[in-house]
Amino acid sequence: MRDQRIVEIRNLSKSYQRGGQIVPVLSDITLDIASGEFVALMGPSGSGKSTLLNLIAGIDKPDGGMLRVAGIDIAELSESELADWRAEHVGFIFQFYNLMPVLTAFENVELPLLLTRLTSGERKSHVETALAMVSLSDRMEHYPSELSGGQQQRVAIARAIITDPTILVADEPTGDLDRASAEDILNLMDRLNAELGKTIIMVTHDPNAARRARSLRHLEKGVLTADRS
């Protein structure tokens, strides 16, 4: 499993249209990520890190090149096929957590399971396990507004892993947190990778965070440059 390529990217390009002008964001990206890796994508702001991550996670579409994730050419999928694919294969961790403010921690974590066939009893035990894993068993009935930033991000991580996805994508997961909370989150991600073998792709511009990853890629003006393994 370890050496199986979970993400295969060949000559991928992406540009945006802005005010009638075409702005190239990613050009000729070629990248492989093996199953069980923990990759950090670094680079200055505006270099296209989020764009690349969004393509891999199937929430944006490339202009050209090949993009295969978990053996599927996701650039070829229709919108609704892609939605199903994401629900099954991708766990999202966002910079601003993106929890539903009207749902409790428990309900937020349960959300992705509503798209599965699990019974409510099964969902309950899954959610409790996930929240225990992020040490929030005592905060299940709390709303996001009643939790600290670090706690909210832990709820978001529980939500991301609840369906046991193929890859976890994290866009600046510590970008909005103080140092201590950031450490907590990084420790948690480290454990998910080391103990549960989760494949994690993390975008960050924080060197502290990047250091925790097992491999590092640099993105500079839409082009992958040096890497360290």
Q: Which residues bind Mg ion (CB under 5 A)?
A: 50
User: What sign does the CA torsion over 131, 133, 139, 145 have?
Assistant: negative
CA distances, 194 to each of 37, 92, 129, 200, 227 (Å): 9, 18, 18, 11, 21
Total chain residues near ligand ADP (CB under 6 A): 11
What does the block give as tokens for 69?
């994730």
**Contact call for residues 7 and 39 (beta carbons, < 8 A):** no
Q: Using CB under 8 A, which residues numbered 83 to 112 contact other proteins?
A: 83-84, 86-88, 92, 94, 96, 98, 100-103, 107, 110-112
**151/157 Cα distance (integer angstroms):** 10
Q: Which is nearer to ligand ADP, 25 or 82 (CB)?
A: 25
> Which letter does DSSP use for residue 195 in this model?
H
Q: Using CB under 8 A, which residues numbered 113 to 132 contact other proteins?
A: 114-115
Contact pick of 33, 39, 47, 185 for ligand ADP (by CB under 6 A): 47
Q: Which is nearer to other proteins, 19 or 101 (CB)?
A: 101
Q: How far is the CB of 25 from Mg ion (least distance, A)?
A: 11
Does 223 bind other proteins (CB under 8 A)? Our answer is no
Residue indicated by tokens 């540009």 = 15
Helix (H, G, I), strand (E, B) or coil at 5: strand
Site residues for other proteins per CB under 8 A: 50-51, 54, 57, 59-60, 79-80, 83-84, 86-88, 92, 94, 96, 98, 100-103, 107, 110-112, 114-115, 159
